[in-house]
């Protein structure tokens, strides 16, 4: 059997190459991908005399659609494949979250869809375990405050019916299903906080808005054929929150956070940073791609935001909305749809958003109080398909060719002596009598020369058959030899990157 020790340089070279590759693609590339992504403070118009270090812009980290998966996410996958998928996706989320936290934000806002199936009907123990998994992945923020807004995967579109169960016209809702829990919204509130609220950071009012509930209630209103003015908002719902906010006085700039993007014309571009396509209108069971046109306009009129940040679409998008004012030219309001943080949401490169807010004492004017920038993360799926698989194929090919070459080297055939038969014992011997003699009826007799020739022919045929059988056996043994040698070499190489991956995984899980 060929030994891998015959090619130590090749074996060790592949070991080193694989270890370097695993270190880079499982750890190094994450830090490198966001090293050049910094808080956009330099773009803010700050007072020069106020930059003494006591005041600085507030830094808000925006995270969209992590959607941690569970058993409902891939129902067609078996336990083994689902377990592997869940492990890799969770591990990737931990790495993405880890490098995002390295930016040391002052606050963090999640733009909805924290869980892929948070709206599903499930036992309380299962939901609690699901939530604890989310908390485990997105840990390590310390005292940094974290805020959440609900997405359709968190609460679904059965919110109005859940708030007001006496209604019988919930058929107009966008997501009534026995699969969805009627307790989804209350369950969300108990774990993530109030779905609608306004907070103040750096003299800015951050509005955390429950867009799925707003869209659902608007659908119910249409179903009842009532105008917006004659509609009584559901108590505790998004529409009631919006009307109350509009009736209050707000002097600070408003930043609106909505899981569902606002309406725009079909086919409108999203800028150069988007991977593909655009956000297009669409409504289906349990989802709505964008808010309705009039609903979006009322939202802008009520909150009058300086900027809007949304999620749900998973890809990056920039769009300027036009808000018509009673007097003067229309106001342009910029909306940014933030990339998903997950590797399995149909984008090659996940991402997050950095938002800098200028406190009032640092502002040079009131027009440029914020600035934001996107940060892209590694293409994990691309790493698997474009780097790991080609190197795996090349490594296997090299090992197999190397061992096949060793087993097909020419043999030094050894000369074989002609067999000599001992007529006394009827067996081969090096000192036997003439092959023309044999034992018959207890007496020694000599064969005729013709009979001797026949015996020689039979012996030669026997030798040839034996030689052929031996050659076939030798070929099988050689084939088994290079195959086992190759598998042995593959294992000797693979154990190093496997241990490296295990070490990196342990480090990520423990930090």
pLDDT tens digit sequence for 357-367: 999 888 887 77
Supply the DSSP symbol for 151. Answer: -
By CB atoms closer than 10 A (0-12, 13-18, 19+), residue 170 is: middle
Look at residue 334 and tell me whether its pLDDT is greater than 90: yes
By CB atoms closer than 10 A (0-12, 13-18, 19+), residue 346 is: exposed
Per-residue confidence (pLDDT) for residue 28, from 0 to 100: 94
Look at residue 15 and tell me whether its pLDDT is greater than 90: yes
Reference 218, options 209, 230, 208, 228; nearest CA is: 228
Mean pLDDT of 62-79: 94
Mean pLDDT of 308-325: 93
Per-residue confidence (pLDDT) for residue 431, from 0 to 100: 44
Look at residue 173 and tell me whether its pLDDT is greater than 70: no
CA-CA-CA-CA torsion sign (174, 179, 182, 183):
negative
Mean pLDDT of 205-212: 96
Choice among 30-44, 86-100, 418-432, 487-501 with the minimum mean pLDDT:
418-432
Per-residue confidence (pLDDT) for residue 370, from 0 to 100: 94
Look at residue 169 and tell me whether its pLDDT is greater than 60: no
Q: How far apart are CA 405 and CA 274, in angstroms?
A: 50
Look at residue 197 and tell me whether its pLDDT is greater than 90: yes
Look at residue 93 and tell me whether its pLDDT is greater than 80: yes
First to last CA, the chain: 46
Per-residue confidence (pLDDT) for residue 504, from 0 to 100: 95
Task: Give me the chain's average pLDDT, please.
Answer: 83
Per-residue confidence (pLDDT) for residue 426, from 0 to 100: 44
| Every domain of the chain and the residues it spans | 7-36+382-406+482-510, 39-45+55-378
Look at residue 510 and tell me whether its pLDDT is greater than 90: no
Distances (CA, A) of 473 to 37, 158, 466: 64, 72, 11
Look at residue 325 and tell me whether its pLDDT is greater than 50: yes
Q: Indicate the pairing of strand 307-310 with strand 317-323.
A: unpaired
Mean pLDDT of 319-334: 86
Per-residue confidence (pLDDT) for residue 3, from 0 to 100: 44
Q: How far apart are CA 383 and CA 385, in angstroms?
A: 6
3-class state of residue 52 by DSSP: coil
Mean pLDDT of 29-57: 81
Per-residue confidence (pLDDT) for residue 412, from 0 to 100: 45
pLDDT tens digit sequence for 405-458: 876 655 444 444 444 444 444 444 444 444 443 334 444 444 444 455 555 666
Q: Which residue has the higher pLDDT, 177 or 179?
A: 179
Look at residue 308 and tell me whether its pLDDT is greater than 70: yes
Q: How far apart are CA 448 and CA 289, in angstroms?
A: 103
Per-residue confidence (pLDDT) for residue 158, from 0 to 100: 60
Q: Which residue has the higher pLDDT, 55 or 196?
A: 196
Choice among 129-143, 170-184, 448-462 with the minimum mean pLDDT:
448-462
pTM above 0.85, yes or no: no
Q: How far apart are CA 276 and CA 292, in angstroms?
A: 23
By CB atoms closer than 10 A (0-12, 13-18, 19+), residue 2 is: buried
Per-residue confidence (pLDDT) for residue 471, from 0 to 100: 52
Q: Which residue has the higher pLDDT, 266 or 3?
A: 266
According to CATH, the topology of domain 39-45+55-378 is: Purple Acid Phosphatase; chain A, domain 2 (3.60.21)
pLDDT tens digit sequence for 244-253: 999 999 999 9
- Burial track 219-250 (b if 16+ CB lie within 10 A, e otherwise): bbbeeeeeeeeeeebbebbbbbbbeebeeeee
Element holding 323 (H helix, E strand) = strand 317-323
Contact 337, 315 (CB under 8 A): yes
Per-residue confidence (pLDDT) for residue 472, from 0 to 100: 54
Q: For 258-294, what is the HEC assignment?
A: ECCCCCCCCCCCCCCCCCCCCCCCCEECCEECCCCHH
3-class state of residue 438 by DSSP: strand
Look at residue 150 and tell me whether its pLDDT is greater than 70: yes
User: What is the percent of the chain with per-residue pLDDT over 90, rounded to a whole number?
Assistant: 59
Per-residue confidence (pLDDT) for residue 453, from 0 to 100: 57
Q: Indicate the pairing of strand 254-258 with strand 307-310.
A: parallel
């Amino acid at each position: 059997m060929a030994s891998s020790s015959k090619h130590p340089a090749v074996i060790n070279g592949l070991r080193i190459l694989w270890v370097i590759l695993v270190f880079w693609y499982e750890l190094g590339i994450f830090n490198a991908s966001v090293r050049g992504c910094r808080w956009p403070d330099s773009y803010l118009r700050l007072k020069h005399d106020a930059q003494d270090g006591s005041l600085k812009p507030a830094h808000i980290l925006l995270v969209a659609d992590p959607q941690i998966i569970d058993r409902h996410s891939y129902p067609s996958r078996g336990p083994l494949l689902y377990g592997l998928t869940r492990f890799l996706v969770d591990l990737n989320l931990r790495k993405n979250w880890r490098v995002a936290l390295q930016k040391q934000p002052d606050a963090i806002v999640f733009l909805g869809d924290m869980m892929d199936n948070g709206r599903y009907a499930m036992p309380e123990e299962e939901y609690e375990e699901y939530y604890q998994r989310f908390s485990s992945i997105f840990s390590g923020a310390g005292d940094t405050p974290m805020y959440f807004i609900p997405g359709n995967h968190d609460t679904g579109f059965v919110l109005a019916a859940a708030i007001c169960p006496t209604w019988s016209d919930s058929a107009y809702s966008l997501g009534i299903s026995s699969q969805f829990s009627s307790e989804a919204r209350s369950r969300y509130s108990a774990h993530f906080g109030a779905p609608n609220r306004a907070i103040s950071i750096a003299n800015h009012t951050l509005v955390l808005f429950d867009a799925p509930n707003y869209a659902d209630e608007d659908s119910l209103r249409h179903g009842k054929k009532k105008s917006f003015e004659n509609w009584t908002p559901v108590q505790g719902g998004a529409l009631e929150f919006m009307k109350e906010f509009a009736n209050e006085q707000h002097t600070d700039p408003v930043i609106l956070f909505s899981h569902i993007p606002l309406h725009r014309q079909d086919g409108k571009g999203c800028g150069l940073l988007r991977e593909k396509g655009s956000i297009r209108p669409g409504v289906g069971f349990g989802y709505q791609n964008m808010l309705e046109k009039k609903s979006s306009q009322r939202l802008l009129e009520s909150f009058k935001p300086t900027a809007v940040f949304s999620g749900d679409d998973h890809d990056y998008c920039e769009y300027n909305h036009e808000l018509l004012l009673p007097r003067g030219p229309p106001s342009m309001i910029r909306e940014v749809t933030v990339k998903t943080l997950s590797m399995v949401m149909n984008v090659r490169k996940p991402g997050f958003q950095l938002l800098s807010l200028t406190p009032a004492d640092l502002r040079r004017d009131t027009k440029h109080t914020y600035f934001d920038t996107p940060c892209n993360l590694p293409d994990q799926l691309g790493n698997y398909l474009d780097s790991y698989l080609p190197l795996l194929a090349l490594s296997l090919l090299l090992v197999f060719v190397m061992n096949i070459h060793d087993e097909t080297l020419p043999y030094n055939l050894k000369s074989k002596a002609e067999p000599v038969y001992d007529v006394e014992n009827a067996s081969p011997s090096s000192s036997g009598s003439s092959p023309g003699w044999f034992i018959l009826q207890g007496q020694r007799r000599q064969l005729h020369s013709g009979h001797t020739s026949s015996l020689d022919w039979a012996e030669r045929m026997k030798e040839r058959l034996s030689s052929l059988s031996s050659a076939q056996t030798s070929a099988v043994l050689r084939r088994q030899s290079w195959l086992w040698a190759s598998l042995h070499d593959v294992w000797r190489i693979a154990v190093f990157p496997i241990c490296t991956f295990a070490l990196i995984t342990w480090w990520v899980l423990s930090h």
